Structure formats: structure tokens, C-alpha cells
């Protein structure tokens, strides 16, 4: 799909269908080569809107006539450099105002692509670059497919965007690669936001042949001629037996019920289409795709997904960041601490910035443990083929350890990653200020403490900035860059420059307790535990947030972050922000006793259920609706969800008043990338708008109508 900005207003960026004739080698006749090209540079991918689709249809109809008269022996489709097509133009899809228009959008794609199937001569797709969604479906509708070794990505991301592969993909993929692999292509990979590399696409069976990029087109044409001569016959698998097909569909539906829990319709609609694909004919299957696409385009989930997709794309240019010209050069980085977070940061910094890193801790044992993590992690990456031995050796050689703070004297940036205790962090910065140069930037990885307070006793507090990473550092895409009261533009620019080189999305946040993610996520966990304290069963509370589509239930999240860490942040936020953040004696006891809060997952890929035994720590579960231990009614799962959403709405109102971020979109960006808030919700504020909490609690919408939902005026 296209990554066009959801807020833009423009005419369609038309992708043209340019036709030229190529003589096939060996006297095999003429190949009509259709090149998709929007006429723009490599930063503007080909996308498919109504005008472009109409032009493609016209071009293919003309070629069909030429094929019938014997003028051409084959037809092939390729793209401009780096792109076949990035799919449908999401801006255009998001602007559809009625179901009739949505239905026509699906039908127009099928009309064009069906010509590739009924051309009368063999059709080929030469996938020279990125092919996503409708771009890949062009190739799937052709008879044969080649791919270039450097194509950026191939995939069908639609279900991750609230849609289904609606131009043939839901029907063709399971018949081409088998139902089990089709589930991976249509459901699993989009959920992971993990398209295929060319070699993977070949292995799965989405393409027939892979050629090196340098002479890709020439070799593809030669290969096409060999196919026409009969020298090459790409294999096609038999359809899976009906019992196998049914078993995979049943198992997948069960897994969707567990992981998605009905929170969004698109994965279910896609599975329904794939379930029917074995026995349906093309016309019936494509009509069903049209209907599904029309239904889904007119859902808030799809509009919210497009909004979220636009946010994460636009996040590469952070709002409020100073000019990059102000950033200080970084040639050596220091990390205070050698614990897990510190070691993860050290590894990422030297890997992405390519500069030496020194970790310092209080004793040699801790230092060696941090260095051991770096060595072990690089060894694993080499073993998995994700890093070359040479790169691993360079990284290990670039990360050193010490117990002497004086080793930071020549560092351009020093990041502290010690225990979340204000006194300790202030002591660290005071010691650093006596050692480092005047231009050295001091950064803190604090997750909730005041950066302003941390720098308050320094001679140069303007050099201090927050760079809050999330755990696990390598995987989590978000970094909160914290501007303290006296943070200089140079320190801020340096922080943004570092996060960009680390390939993270940075969001500028004000120095307020918990910043964005922890302030809201810890509030969620606190309200769930508060309900249990009052008498709600731990099982009901744990599953209450399933409609939000979080990556995991609440107590599994507690287990991931560590109950002690969650309790510490909850306590500190309560001290700073008051009674809105509840106290939990039960959680305090769990932490004090070191009690694990979840059981093992029943199967790989399944959630870890809450341990029912912890109920006794909070007190016995009471009947729903009865007066609880706090003097308020005991809540069921729906009541817990209502309590959480009400509290979130209140808190976001405070955050916007406090100007924690530039605007509500930045809260959504933080929650999507830092807390796993589902794309289908659009982030937190569209969900609160859509469910009526914003107007009920704040008296107004947070986002304008139509930005992340189907506008009220739409038919």
C-alpha cells in the first residue's frame, strides 16, 4: 500500500502504463512490455488510483486486441526503477465517501487485472522492485513471475491496514502456494509488518525465478522466451486436499479468536475468502473480494489503520525537532551502567553509528556481564545469518568496559542508564560534569523521572536531554526525546540526529512525569489492578482489554516489564500526578514476595494467562455488582474496560493541556510504536473519539471528524 500522508489533499499521482515492443531472442516473436511509471523520482513510489487503473485497463485492452491478431507473442509488466507498485493509493481509498464508490474501486482493479489472465497469450510479471498489495497482485494475476534480487519487499499488507487483498490476492495466493503458506502471506506477515525479501518470495512460491539486479530485465526477457519455447516449465502445485484446507482454516480461525479476539474484522474476512478459494471459480471469488473490500473501506477500523500508517510514515520527520545543522558530531559514546538496558544501547549505538562505545559500572563483574551480553548477542545474530562474522567482530572490538569514570573524558555523548533513583542519577551527572568536555551532551534513559530535576544542580544544565529507549532496545522502534526546561537546541538536535542514525522514530516530549507511553500504559495497568483490589477476578480483569487489540493481556505485560518496574513507575506517577494513579497493596505484596503473575503459554505463539493463584494476594473475587472492598461496585470485564478508557481520556486531556507533545497525533504515534496499540484503532485518540469517550468525558472530539474515521456525512 502507499505511504501517502493521510492529511494531504491533492489530485491523484497517476501511475502511467507505458508500452513498448521488445523482440524476444530466438525468434520467439514480440513481447509487449508494459512499464508502470508515475514519472517521479525514487522517493515517490508508483501507486494505483482510479486514473492510473483506467490507463492500465486501456493499455491492456489494446494489447489484447494485438494478441488476438497475432502481433504480440507475450505481454509483460514491470515498473520504474525500485518499484513495481506500492499498491493502492491509500489517500484515495481513505477519501471514498460511499459503499458504491468502494465497490467500484474493487471492481476496477479486477477488471484491469483479469485482462492479464485472459490476454490470449502468456503474461509475465518482471518484479523489478517493491511490490506490495495491489502491486504484487498485478504479478499474481500474470501467468509467470520473475523477481530482481534487490527488490525491497513483496507482500500483501492489507489485513494489517483494515482491508483484504482485494484484487485477486485472497483467491490466487492459496491456490498458488497452498492454504498454509497463504495464511502466512495474508495474515501472519502483515501482523508482523514483515514483507518478503526476494529469496523468501521465491521459496514460498510467490515468484518463479530470481535474477540479479544488474541484468534483471534482460535475463527476464530471455527466460520468458525460454518459457514460450517450452524449454522452461515453472512448476505449479496441486490444490491441497479439502480436509487439509479445512483443517488449516479451522486452526487459523481458532488462533484469530485467541489473538485478535474479534477486535477487528479484516483478518476474519480475509480468512473467509481464502476458505472459499479452493472451490470457487474466479468470477465468484473476485465478486466476493469486491464485497469484502467495499464493506471494509467503509469501516472506522480501516480509516484508523490508514491514519496510523500515515503517522508512522510521517514520524521519520519528527515534529518540533531543531535543525539537524545544530547537532554535534558524535565520534565516541559513553554509557553509564552495564546492565541489560545499558548493554542493549551500547550494542545498538556501535552497530548503527559505527563509533566506539565505552560502558562503565561500579565493579568488574558487572562490566564483564554487560560485555558478555554484547558478545553473546552478536554470536546469535551471526548464527542466524543476520550479521556477518566480520561485522560482529567489529562491534565486539568497538565496545569496551571500565570501572573508571575518567574513561568518559573524550566522549561526545554520555548516556546514563542506571537505576531509576533520582539521587543516583543526579550523582552520576555531577561526577560526569567534572570530567567531560564543555561540548559533551549528557543524556538520560530515564523512563519517568524529571530530566529538569536531574540537571538542576549542574553548572551547564542546558547540555542535558532525555533519550528514552524502550525494551527490547533493538526491536522497539520508538524513542521519546525529552526536552527539559533548560535543554539547548544543540543538545536536542544531537539527540534527534542520534535516534535517526539508530533508525528509530523519535517523538519530542515535554519533561512531564512518565512522558507519554509510561504515563498512559502504567495508568492502564494501575486501573486494571485497582479493579482486582476491589473484588474483580484476576481472570476477568486480565482479559478486559481484549477489544483494544493490545499485543498481550495486562498481567503478561506486567510480567514483561517486570512487576517491580511497573510498581516503581506507578508509585512515582502517583506522587507526581496524584490520586488518578491508584495505589495497589496487592501489587506491592507480589513484588515484595517475588511472585510470578502469569503461567507459561499453553502453546508457542499463545498468550501467557494470569496465574489464578495470585487472586489470594488481592483477596477473594466478589460477585459482580456487589459492593467491593473499596466501597464501589465490583466490575465485570466490560466495566474494567470502561474504567480504563475513562481514565485514559481524562489523562490525555491533562496531557494536551500540559502540552506534553505538539498535538494528539504524537500521542497516537507514541502508543502505536511504544505500547503496541493496534493499527486498527488508529492509536488511542481515534479510538476514544469513535467510542464516544472523548465527547462524554472531555466534551469534545480530540481529532477532527474524518481524520481517522468514516466521516459522519458519508453515506
Relative to beta strand 413-416, strand 333-336 is parallel
β-bridge partners, 21: 32
Of 509, 513, 601, 617, give the one whose Cα is nearest residue 563.
617
- Strand (E) or helix (H) holding 638: helix 637-658
Give the distance from CA 661 to its chain's centroid. 21
C-alpha to C-alpha distance for 688 and 682, rounded to whole angstroms: 10
| Residues 676/680/685/689 CA torsion (nearest 10 deg) | -150
Active site residues: 137, 158
First-last CA distance in the chain:
25
C-alpha angle with apex 149: 144 to 151, nearest 5 degrees? 85
Quote the Cα angle for 524-526-527, to 5°: 70
Distance separating alpha carbons of residues 551 and 493, to the nearest angstrom: 33
What DSSP line would sit under 557-595, residue for residue? HHHHH-HHHHHHHHHHHHHHH-TTS---HHHHHHHHHT-
Element at 399 (helix H, strand E): strand 399-402
Paired with 131 in beta bridges are: 85, 154
**Do 259 and 252 touch, CB atoms closer than 8 A?**
no
Other Cβ atoms within 10 Å of 653 Cβ, number = 17
CA distance 180 to 348: 36
Nearest to residue 444, comparing CAs of 461, 464, 430? 464
Q: Residue 16: which residues within 8 A CB-CB, separation 6 or more?
A: 36, 37, 38, 39, 52, 55
Instruction: List the Cα angle 134/137/139 in 5-degree steps.
Output: 125
* 87 contacts: CB under 8 Å, gap ≥ 6: 1, 2, 47, 48, 132, 133, 134, 135, 136, 157
Computed over its alpha carbons, how large is the radius of gyration of the chain?
28
* Secondary structure of residue 464 in the 3-state scheme: strand
- Return the closest-CA partner of residue 131 out of 281, 2, 290, 263: 2
Contact yes or no for 573/448 (Cβ under 8 A): yes
How would you list the strands of the sheet with 123-127, edge to edge?
A: 16-23, 30-37, 74-79, 123-127, 144-148, 209-211
CA dist., res. 348 & res. 538, Å (int) = 38
Compute the distance between CA of residue 166 and CA of residue 185 in angstroms, rounded to an integer. Answer: 14
Are the CB atoms for 359 and 335 separated by under 8 Å? yes
What is d(CA 645, CA 697) in angstroms, rounded to the nearest whole number? Answer: 10
Cell of 57: 485497463
Half-sphere exposure of 701 (CA within 13 A, CB side): 14
Say if residues 533 and 584 touch (Cβ distance below 8 Å). yes
C-alpha closest to that of 36 among 142, 129, 155, 167? 129
Amino acid at each position: 500500500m502507499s505511504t501517502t500522508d493521510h492529511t494531504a489533499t491533492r489530485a491523484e499521482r497517476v501511475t502511467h502504463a507505458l508500452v513498448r515492443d521488445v523482440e524476444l531472442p530466438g525468434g520467439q516473436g514480440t513481447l509487449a512490455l508494459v512499464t508502470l511509471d508515475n514519472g517521479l523520482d525514487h522517493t515517490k513510489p508508483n501507486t494505483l488510483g482510479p486514473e492510473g487503473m483506467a490507463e492500465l485497463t486501456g493499455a491492456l485492452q489494446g494489447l489484447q486486441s494485438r494478441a488476438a491478431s497475432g502481433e504480440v507473442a507475450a505481454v509483460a509488466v514491470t515498473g520504474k526503477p525500485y518499484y513495481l507498485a506500492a499498491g493502492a493509493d491509500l489517500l484515495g481509498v481513505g477519501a471514498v465517501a460511499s459503499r458504491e464508490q468502494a465497490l467500484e474501486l474493487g471492481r476496477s482493479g479486477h477488471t484491469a487485472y483479469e485482462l492479464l489472465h485472459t490476454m490470449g497469450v502468456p503474461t509475465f510479471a518482471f518484479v523489478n522492485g517493491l511490490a506490495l498489495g495491489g502491486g504484487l497482485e498485478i504479478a499474481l494475476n500474470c501467468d509467470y513471475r520473475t523477481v530482481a534480487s534487490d527488490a525491497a519487499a513483496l507482500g500483501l499488507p492489507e489485513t494489517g491496514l483494515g482491508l483484504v487483498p482485494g484484487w485477486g490476492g485472497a483467491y490466487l495466493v492459496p491456490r498458488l502456494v497452498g492454504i498454509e503458506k497463504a495464511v502466512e502471506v495474508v495474515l501472519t506477515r502483515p501482523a508482523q509488518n514483515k514483507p518478503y525479501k526476494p529469496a523468501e518470495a521465491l521459496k514460498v512460491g510467490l515468484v518463479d525465478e530470481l535474477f540479479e539486479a544488474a541484468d534483471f530485465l534482460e535475463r527476464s526477457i530471455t527466460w520468458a522466451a525460454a518459457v514460450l519455447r517450452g524449454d522452461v516449465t515453472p512448476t505449479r502445485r496441486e490444490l491441497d486436499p479439502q480436509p487439509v484446507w479445512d483443517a488449516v482454516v479451522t486452526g487459523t480461525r481458532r488462533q484469530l479468536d485467541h489473538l485478535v479476539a474479534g477486535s477487528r474484522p479484516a483478518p476474519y474476512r480475509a480468512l473467509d475468502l481464502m476458505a472459499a478459494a479452493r472451490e470457487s471459480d474466479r468470477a465468484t471469488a473476485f465478486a466476493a473480494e469486491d464485497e469484502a473490500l467495499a464493506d471494509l473501506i467503509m469501516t472506522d477500523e480501516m480509516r484508523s489503520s490508514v491514519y496510523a500508517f500515515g503517522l508512522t510514515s510521517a514520524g521519520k520527520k519528527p515534529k518540533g525537532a531543531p535543525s539537524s545543522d545544530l547537532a554535534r558530531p558524535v565520534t565516541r559514546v559513553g554509557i553509564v551502567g552495564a546492565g541489560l538496558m545499558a548493554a542493549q544501547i551500547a550494542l545498538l549505538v556501535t552497530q548503527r553509528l559505527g563509533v566506539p562505545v565505552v560502558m562503565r559500572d561500579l565493579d568488574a563483574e558487572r562490566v564483564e556481564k554487560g560485555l558478555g551480553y554484547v558478545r553473546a548477542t552478536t554470536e546469535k545474530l551471526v548464527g542466524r545469518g543476520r550479521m556477518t562474522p566480520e561485522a560482529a567482530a567489529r562491534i565486539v572490538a568497538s565496545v569496551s568496559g571500565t570501572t573508571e569514570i575518567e574513561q568518559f573524558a573524550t566522549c561526545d555523548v554520555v548516556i546514563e542508564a542506571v537505576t531509576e533513583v533520582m539521587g543516583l542519577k543526579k550523582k552520576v551527572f555531577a561526577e560526569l560534569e567534572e570530567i567531560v568536555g564543555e561540548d559533551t551532551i549528557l543524556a538520560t534513559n530515564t523512563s519517568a523521572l524529571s530530566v529538569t530535576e536531574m540537571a538542576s544542580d549542574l553548572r551547564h544544565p542546558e547540555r542535558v536531554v532525555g533519550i528514552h529507549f524502550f525494551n527490547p532496545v533493538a526491536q522497539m522502534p520508538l524513542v521519546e526525546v525529552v526536552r527539559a526546561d533548560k535543554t539547548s537546541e544543540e543538545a536536542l538536535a544531537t539527540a534527534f540526529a542520534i535516534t535517526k542514525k539508530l533508525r528509530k522514530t523519535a517523538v519530542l516530549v515535554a519533561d512531564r512525569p512518565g512522558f507519554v507511553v509510561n504515563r498512559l500504559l502504567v495508568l492502564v495497568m494501575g486501573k486494571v489492578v485497582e479493579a482486582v483490589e476491589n473484588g474483580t477476578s484476576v481472570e476477568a480483569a486480565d482479559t478486559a482489554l481484549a477489544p483494544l487489540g493490545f499485543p498481550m493481556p495486562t498481567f503478561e505485560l506486567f510480567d514483561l516489564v517486570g512487576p517491580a518496574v511497573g510498581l516503581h513507575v506507578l508509585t512515582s506517577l502517583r506522587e507526581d500526578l496524584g490520586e488518578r494513579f491508584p495505589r495497589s497493596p496487592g501489587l506491592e505484596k507480589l513484588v515484595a514476595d517475588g511472585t510470578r503473575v502469569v503461567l507459561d503459554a499453553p502453546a508457542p505463539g499463545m498468550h501467557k494467562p494470569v496465574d489464578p493463584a495470585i487472586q489470594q494476594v488481592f483477596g477473594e473475587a466478589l460477585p459482580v455488582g456487589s459492593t467491593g472492598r473499596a466501597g464501589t461496585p465490583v466490575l465485570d470485564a466490560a466495566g474494567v474496560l470502561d474504567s480504563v478508557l475513562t481514565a485514559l481520556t481524562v489523562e490525555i486531556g491533562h496531557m494536551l493541556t500540559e502540552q506534553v507533545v505538539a498535538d494528539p497525533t504524537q500521542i497516537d504515534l507514541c502508543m502505536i510504536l511504544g505500547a503496541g496499540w493496534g493499527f486498527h484503532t488508529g492509536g488511542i485518540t481515534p479510538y476514544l473519539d469513535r467510542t464516544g469517550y472523548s465527547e462524554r468525558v472531555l466534551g469534545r472530539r480530540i481529532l477532527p471528524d474524518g481524520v481517522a474515521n468514516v466521516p459522519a456525512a458519508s453515506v
